[in-house]
Each structure stands twice: as structure tokens, then as C-alpha cells.
Chain A
């Protein structure tokens, strides 16, 4: 026995010698030679098979120098190197086992050193997989299962005699009793009789007069009577003695007496159809009647009711199936539908389209639809309308959408919200509906054109309407006609980029929605609306996430609400399919891109509220749609800014202007309405949002479209919708970089205004918030535009980016995030503003705002880079953040926006850079407001917001943005994470759970914390964090804050 060391050295020698040996195989050893390696042993099927089949067996391996090693064959290398486990050098003594110290864990023998490897007594079939072959299966059966041998039948002599044929001719029914008796007597010697005493089988009973016997006899007779009297006995006897044939008893068709009589008479079967013809037959009529009755009753009812029902069902189903988006939109739109409904009809179908909802909902929907139709008054759409309504209803109804929305709604804007939401929803629905129309087909082409026109008109209408209601109505009306078109266009767009009209329509609608959303937000506390919107969005996002990426949702959802939403959303997601249509639209064209940006912007809008969205939307929309429109919007924007509050809007100004205008318009009218309807709106928005997110998730390109949808969904919520619309508009702007950039700049300038914001705050609540949102939106839009400009690619990029950031989060989720983010940003801004102005910033609101901010930031990030990611985060975060985080979120949200924009811009494309910058600037602008907001919210706010915010923020933002640009994806990711982390941290600090529930107070703290932290964890570092959505959120928040702080 050699010492262990000796063996080792020996092995080394062997190895060295092996390696030194010139071998062709050696060439293949390098990693790069993997292919060549494969050409060696591993390429030899039979060698691989035989060697593998002996794995785990003991073997004796002889090396060149004559030594023999025994071990367990572990494996073999590509060059046929042999690996033995527990190997030892065989000693000369045969029967002495190896000592422990003689055994080497494993030895690798170079094939060049191996002379012979001897595997003794190996069962080569040991590892054969033979579980499903015929032999393997049959082997498991118990007993013998071999097929029985077939034997020829021998009829014997009887066959010859022909007895077999008698069966056919013998009419007798078996043996005659007498024959049986005779046969038995002859064959067996038994004589049978009819003697009932059965003397042959028993003995007669001996009767006596004893009392005992009588007694027993009496007893027996009594029992006999009882038995014979029993119904059971009678029944059985009757059975036994029944002369009726089995056919009569069990299978015969019993006819009425008349028939029986007739039958008896005729004894002939008369087909029912001919019976009528038989004149004079008293019972003939009866026959006829019966047949007729049968036919008529069954036939008519089934066909009539059935067909109708089926048709309805089919349509519904079709709608549902056709328009995933619609579903979302529907939900959002559903509420709006009633108002917008006519327009939404298209959207409605999509909603109906939502997979799950359609079936059950259809019924319920009608009621809703009815109301909606009545409101809108569009009959044509009715069918679709109902669906939409139902879809809308369903969305609401749908646990996910509704639930999520509801909570949000409740939290944010219940009061004013309702109407606006409806409008928003309608708008969303319309957009959503668009897909359905396409499905519907015929109207599709015209619809698209109409829609485009309608949408544009709508925007005007909205503007004209000023209030949310008008816009809604406009939207609705346009939507009704346009909606279908939109949907159709959307679908078409989705199918083909060309659908500029759809995009425009969408944009317009989005704008309107954005306006609505803005209005809502403005009214309220836009934050609430935003929150609500955001929540829905988040929910949708979450759904999308869940759908796309189940994982993401959970993380983000950490909050129960989120979870619930998700669940609901999930359902919605299915519905979300309709959304895809929207997405397609977005993707299809620059518009699509724009839309995507819009989505982002919408998200930002949501976060920042309508204001930011509007700017972007207006920009994008105006560019794509028409410069003039953009100009007006800008003008409007200024007005708004002048009005306002909206220093933030000032930031977004240009973009915001439109939004602002919208908002303003909305604000006046809508605000009041919104207040009343806010809740509804919020809900609606939520659903839509959800829908939209899912869409993004569904497909990268689609996702963006989805994003749009989501925006649209957001839009559905009055505030959100507006924001969304705005966003969409933004996307358009993105299409035309030049235009956008200016807008962006405008927006940026507006951001500077933020300084005003402080003052604005109070006003902001209504308008200012929107402005803030607008500012936010602007950034988003800016970011969005670039993205949009990239168009599908961008959107895809965004998606991809976002996914990366979120990693787990699906595109869809991202979309949601975007929306949510947007919403949040608006919300945040609003909240921040709200916060600053005590009145505005209500505790609850603040909290929500903070959460929203966080979300917004997320969204912002998302929008910049991959929308999807942002969406996801937003959605996840949004849900939670919307209400809770808002305070903290706002800060982060702003940063996020900035970062997002930056990120998005970078990701989108070089071209976008200008835009991006603009966007970034806008973001900065938006951020400044947010910062201000934050400052307001947070302790430091004052310093932060006042001076630095406007200017410094921008400056700082630019840098930040640049950084973002550099690391678009990463930055975004990082930001998001950071933000998330910050948020979480903030929450943690506050003691509140990161969850979105963070109370207002928390948010501020959060903000502060975030701001502090942000500096440290900037995009680059933060990026890693993204792992958990929640963390991401926090990170994003913090980073943003950090940026803000830094900037500040």
C-alpha cells in the first residue's frame, strides 16, 4: 500500500504525463474548442451510451505503468478521461479491502494514461428507461396476459345433422313442460309431477290438534295475511303475473286513449307529420297538436331566445375577446361610458371583450350600458355600448379593476371624481373600444377616420367644455362615433403603424382624459384623483405584471391592497387583451411611439396629474395631430400657468399649457363635477389604468400601446384620463422632436415656475395640482416624446429597459407602472402642493400624494427608460404608494420622473436626446415642482422647493438627467430601485410600512429621507437594487430625492 501522498504524486505524474502527451484531443480542451470536443467522445453516441450505462459501477483501471486502480466509475471527459470516485490503488493481496487512507476521493485519469478499464459484471440494462414501451407496460401487468390462442370451432356431429339450423325455424318457445318431464324421466330416471306437496323434496307437515300446533298455525296464517296484504307483496306478485310484455311496460311509448284507439283500429304507425292529414280522425288533431306542440314549443323558443341570446353572447364574447384593452378601458370607460358611452361603445365591446368578464358581465352590463347609453344617447354603439358598459361595469365590477380603483378612488377623489372618471373611463373606453370596432370591422375604417376627427374634436370639446363633464361629453360623442373608430383605428394601428388617425384620436382622447384627470385632480385634490387613477393603473399594472410577470406584482403588491388589485387586475389583464389593440396602435406609428411616451407621460401625468400629461400630450398630440392644436394648448398652458397655480404647470408650461387649459377647463367645470364624480372617476381610471398596464405587458410594442391604453385607462379616470390623453399627445410630440423639444423647454421653464408653486399649492390643489402634474407630465412627455419618437422601437426599448430594471416585472407591469407613475407623479405633485398648502394637502391626501409621488417617481423612471418597468413599479408601487407613499413618493416621484425621462430618453434613441434633454428638462421642471412639493411635504421643502427647485432643480436635473441618459436603463433601474429603497426607507423611518399606505406624515419623512439617501444611491449604484419591486420603488424614490437634493 502506498501512502496517500504517494498516490497523489503519482496522480500528478500521471496527469502531467498525460498533459505532456501529444494528442489531437488536447487541442480541443480549450473552452473555445467546445465544438471540437464534441467531436470527440461526446460525439460518439455509442461510446457515450455505453460509458454512461456503466456509471456507478466498480471498475479496475490499468494505467501504463501496470498499476491497477479500483474505484467507482463516476464519469468521463470529452477526451475520454476517466474519473473514478473512491479510488484506490489495488494491492497485490486480493481479498484485503482498501484502508480509508488508501482511498482517494476521486481521481481523474487521462485517457492517454489508461490502458484498460475493466468493468466487471455490469448490467447494461440497469439504467434503461423502459417505462413506456409496450414491453415495459405489459411487464407490469399481473398474471399472464399473453394473447389466447385461437382455436377453430368444431361443431361436432350435430353440425352435420343440421340441428343448428333448427334455431331459425323453431317457433316454439323453449321446452314444453311435458317434454321436460319426459326427458328427465328418460335421461335421469326422475319423474316429475305437478304435485304441490313437493313430496319429492320434502316431507308433509304432520298436523295435530295440539294447542301448540294450532297456535303456530294461527300465527303462520296471520303472518301470511300480513305478507300478502302488504303493498310490496302485491306489487311483486303483480310484476310476476303481469302479462304485459317488457316492451309495453318499459319501452313502449304510451299514447293517449285516442291514439291507443286509433292504433288499435289502424294498428298501423302513422308518422306525426302525416297524422294531420288524416281527416276525420278525432285523435288526428291530437296527434297533430302533439307533434306541432313539440315542434313549435321547442323550436320557436330555442331558436328565438337561443339565437338572440347567442348572438348577444357572441357579440359580447367577441367584443371581450377582441378587445382586451377595452376591458380595461371598459372598466374605466364603463363609468364614463354612461356619459361618453356613445363614443365608448367601441370601447365597450373591447371591455366586453375582456375574456372573463364578457360572459357573465354581459347580462349585468346591459343595465349599466343602458344607463350609459341613455347618458350618451348613442344607440348604434348600444350593442357595443352595452358591452362596453358591461365591460366597464365589469371592470369596475371586476374585482381587480374595481377593487383597486375603488380603493384608490376612495382614497383620492371620491367627491368630485365620479363624473370625470366616467368621462375618463369613457375616453378610455373609447380608445379601448377602438379595438372592438376594428373587430367589428365595417365601421372600422370609417371609424378610424371618424375617430381621429372625433378625438381631435373631443380635445377641443373638452377644452371648450372646460369642465370635466363637457370634455367627457365631447369625448363621448366623439368617442361614440370616434370611439369605434378609435378602437378600429387602434386595432388597425396596432396592426399597422399607419393608423396615425387612431393615434391622434387616442392622443386626443388621452388629452381629454388627461384633462378630465386633471380636472379631477384639480378638483380634488387631484392627488386623490391621481391616486385613484394611479391605483387603478397600478392595479392594471400589477395585473399586467401578474399576467406578464407574476413575481413583480407580489413584490410591488406587498400591500394587501395591491394584492387585491392584482387579483382583480389579473382578471382585467385577461381583459387587457383589448388593451393590446391600443398598444398596437401606439406601436404601429410614431403616434404609437408618441402614445408610448404618452403612456409614460400619462403615467407621469397621473403622478403629476393631468398637468404634466397635458403638456406632453398636447405636445405630442399637437405635433402629430396638428401644430396649431399644440399652439393653442400652449397658449392655454400659459393661461393655466397664469391662473396658476401651476408653477408646476409653468414647468410643463407648454405641454402643461394644453393640459392646464384642459385642466382649467376641467377644473372649473370638471372640478365641481369631479368632486362629485371624483370617486367614480377614480375607479374608472383605475380600471383603465389597469387595463393599460396589462397591455404593455402583453407585448413590448403592444405594451406601449397598452401603455397608451393604460393611459387611456388612466384617462378614463377623469384626471388620469386627461393626463393620459395629454401623455398621448406627448407621444405625438415625441414624434416630431423639434416640436416636442420646444414644448419640453416650455415645460422646463414652467418647472422653474415651481417657485410659484408654494403659493400655488392651495390653488394647485385644483389647478396647481394639475399643473404639477403637467410639469410632471412634461417631463414624462419629454421623455415620452423621445421614446415616442423612437416609435415602436423606442417603446420596445422602453419596455425592454423597464423589464431590465424591473427585471421580473413584465412589460405589462411596466406599463402599469408608467401609468401609475404618471398618476402618482401628478398625485405627488398635487399632494406635495397639497401638502404645502395645508388646505390642499390633506393628511390623507398628502399621504396619498406622497405615495403617489413615490410611484410617480417610479413612473417617471419608468417612462424615461422602459416604460414597462416603470409601469410595473408604478403599478406595484402605485397601488401602495398612490395613497400612502404619495408624500414621500412625490419627492422621489419627481426624481424618478427626471431620471425616468433621462433614462427613457437615452434608451429611446439619440434623436431623442434633444427631446430627452427637453424631457429631462421638463422632468427637471417637473421635478422642481415635485421637489418643491417635497419640500413642502418634507421639512426641508421650503428651502428645497422655493429657490432651488425652480432653477437649481432644473440645473441639477439636467445633470441628473444626463446621468440618466448615460445610464438610461440602469439609471432608471437604479433610480427606481433607489427610489424604492428610499421610499421604503422613508417608510421605515416613518415607521410606516413602505407600503403605499404611508401616512402623509410618513411621506414627508420619507421625502426627507429619500432626499438624503438619494444623493448616495444614485442611479448607478442603485441599479442593482432593482431586484425587488418594492425595493426598486424605494430606490427610485430615494434616488430621485437624492437628485433633487443634489440639484437643490
Chain B
């Protein structure tokens, strides 16, 4: 690595591209760069394609080559907004619990379809959990393998019908995903794939 200057080697806002030692090419806008640790943070185009989201890549420049500054920043970076740390902590905890709960399901031998369905439902209804191999939604609806619409059982009502719609859509999207892989038209599918990936 060329010895960076005393100040910032990469100015915030500039666009940089590089190739990691693992052969992955990265390109994005410099969000932050720490010279002592040689850590570079890039903001890249969102993998999901959603405009309000973005991918953030933290790169260790010690394992990067072919660093190229595509365009330097023209303006001073915007001021930093204060962060609601509690919100972040809560998100971290929720994500962790989420993952662990899914892991339990996987450990229980739930099929991939079941896992995907669970993730899909979980996006809409947070109140769902695994019970053995059954998905319990809102403590009302039980979806047992093979997790088809007909497997949704529970007290007749809006909850059951709603869950059935979700399941129905899930498999429909799944079909469309298969037919048109990586198509971004079906967000649902994309999300599923993203989650499953």
C-alpha cells in the first residue's frame, strides 16, 4: 500500500474502486476512512435495488489491491446526524433473536421451504415462531409441514385468512422467482432470496 498522506487518504464523498485479495471487486462512495487501521467504508449500490437502502462495505485496505479513485469529492461532506443508539441496540437484539429463532427451526429439521415461508411471514407478522416444525402465527394459526396453504389451520377468522393469503402469495412469488430468477419485479421474492442467501 502506498503510504497515504498525513491526512485523509480518501476524501469522503469520492468514489473508489478496488479489488480485494479474495478477488471481489468493490466500488462505492467513500463514507469514512481511517488511516491508522486502514479501514475504508464505502457506500455501494443496494443489492436489493431499493433506493432508500444502500450497501455498506467495510474494507480493510491491507487486503486490497488496485485501488482507484474514480472521482474525487467536490463538496464537503454533509454534517453527521446524531444517532438513536437505543434504536440501534434494539435492532441488534431483535436481529439476533430472530436469527437464533430461525436457527432453532433449522436445527429442528425444518425444510428449506418452511424456513423461507417463515421468513416471509415474519416480514409481515412479527408475532410468529417455531414450535417444533410448525409455524405458529399470532398464537392462532398453525402452519404444519409441508407448509402449504391447506396446512394453515386455526380458528376461522381474519387471522387465518390473512395468513393464508400470505402463504399463498409466498408460493406464488416463489414460482415467479423460479421462472424469472433475479427479477426485481417481485420484491417479495427478492427479499426472500436475500434473506435466504
Contacts and interface: CB of A to CB of B under 8 A. Distances in A.
Interface string B104-126: 11110000100110000000000
Given A46-B77, A98-B99, A128 B55 contact: no
Contact of A116 (B24, B36, B105, B193): B24
B9 interface: no
A127 B84 contact: yes
B107 A99 contact: yes
Interface string B66-103: 00000000000100111111011111111110011011
A212 B97 CA distance: 87
Interface in B23-61: 24, 26, 31-34, 36-37, 39, 41, 43, 46-48, 50, 52-60
User: Which of A71, A96, A97: most chain B Cβ within 10 A?
Assistant: A97
Contact of B88 (A53, A66, A130): A53
Contacts of A94: 196-197
Contact of B99 (A55, A58, A82, A116): A58
B137 interface: no
B1 interface: no
Given A56-B95, A86-B100, A96-B112, A50 B56 contact: yes
B81 A56 contact: no
Contacts of B62: 112
A254 interface: no
Contacts of A74: 92, 96
B116 A95 contact: yes
B103 A100 contact: yes
Contacts of B56: 50, 54, 118-119, 122, 124
Chain A interface residue bracket vs B = 35 or more
B53 A122 contact: yes
User: Which of A47, A57, A74: most chain B Cβ within 10 A?
Assistant: A47
B21 interface: yes
Nearest to B39: A80
Given A52-B85, A97-B105, A115 B194 contact: no
A447 B27 CA distance: 85
Contact of B103 (A40, A50, A103, A122): A103
Nearest to B106: A97
A50 B104 contact: no
A53 B84 CA distance: 9
Contacts of B83: 49, 52-53, 127-129
B196 A95 contact: yes
Given A58-B95, A96-B112, A119-B55, A114 B60 contact: yes
A136 to B, nearest CB: 11
B20 to A, nearest CB: 5
A221 interface: no
A51 interface: yes
A956 B100 CA distance: 68
Contact of A124 (B54, B102, B194): B54
A40 B60 contact: no
Interface in A453-493: none
A99 to B, nearest CB: 5
B60 to A, nearest CB: 5
A889 B71 CA distance: 83
Contact of B32 (A47, A56, A98, A100): A47
B41 A51 contact: yes
Contact of B41 (A47, A97, A114): A47
A117 interface: yes
Given A99-B107, A129-B82, A47 B91 contact: no
B12 interface: yes
Given A72-B95, A98-B99, A55 B89 contact: yes
A40 B37 contact: yes
B39 A111 contact: yes
A80 B34 contact: yes
Contacts of B32: 44, 46-47, 49-51
B36 A50 contact: no
A96 B195 CA distance: 10
B22 interface: yes
B146 to A, nearest CB: 16
A118 B39 CA distance: 13
Contacts of B54: 121-122, 124
B20 A46 contact: no
A97 B102 contact: yes
Contacts of A118: 55-58
Contacts of B89: 55-56
Nearest to A88: B103
Interface in A50-85: 50-58, 62, 64, 66, 71-74, 79-80, 82, 85
Contacts of B22: 62, 66, 115-116
Given A79-B37, A120-B55, A97 B31 contact: no
A71 B103 CA distance: 12
Contacts of B36: 24-25, 39-41
Interface string A10-48: 000000000000001100000000000001110011110
B102 to A, nearest CB: 5
B43 A124 contact: yes
B37 A126 contact: no
Given A52-B83, A72-B92, A72-B99, A121 B53 contact: yes
A753 to B, nearest CB: 69
A116 B92 contact: no
Contacts of A85: 92, 95-96
B57 A116 contact: yes
Interface string A789-806: 000000000000000000
A123 interface: yes
A101 interface: yes
Nearest to B40: A47
Contacts of B41: 46-47, 50-51
B113 to A, nearest CB: 9
Given A116-B22, A120-B55, A57 B95 contact: yes
Contacts of B57: 116-119
B58 to A, nearest CB: 4
A40 B32 CA distance: 13
Contacts of B116: 95
A532 interface: no
B107 A86 contact: no
A684 interface: no
A58 B82 CA distance: 22
A102 interface: yes
Nearest to A82: B58
A570 B115 CA distance: 65
B26 A116 contact: yes
B55 to A, nearest CB: 5
A461 B140 CA distance: 93
Contacts of B58: 51, 80, 82, 114, 116-119
A60 to B, nearest CB: 9
Contact of A121 (B24, B48, B93): B48
A53 B54 CA distance: 12
A756 to B, nearest CB: 71
A44 B37 CA distance: 11
Contacts of B31: 46, 50
B38 to A, nearest CB: 8
A480 B156 CA distance: 93
Interface of A: 24-25, 39-41, 44-47, 49-58, 62, 64, 66, 71-74, 79-80, 82, 85-86, 88, 94-103, 111-112, 114-130
24 contacts: A24-B36, A41-B39, A46-B32, A46-B80, A50-B56, A55-B88, A62-B22, A80-B39, A85-B95, A85-B96, A95-B197, A96-B106, A103-B100, A112-B62, A114-B60, A116-B58, A121-B47, A123-B52, A125-B81, A126-B87, A126-B91, A127-B87, A128-B84, A129-B81
Given A103-B100, A119-B57, 7 more contacts: A51-B58, A55-B88, A86-B100, A96-B196, A115-B22, A115-B63, A127-B88
Which 9 pairs show the lowest CB-CB distances between chains A and B? A56-B91, A56-B92, A46-B32, A95-B196, A117-B58, A47-B32, A100-B107, A119-B56, A80-B37
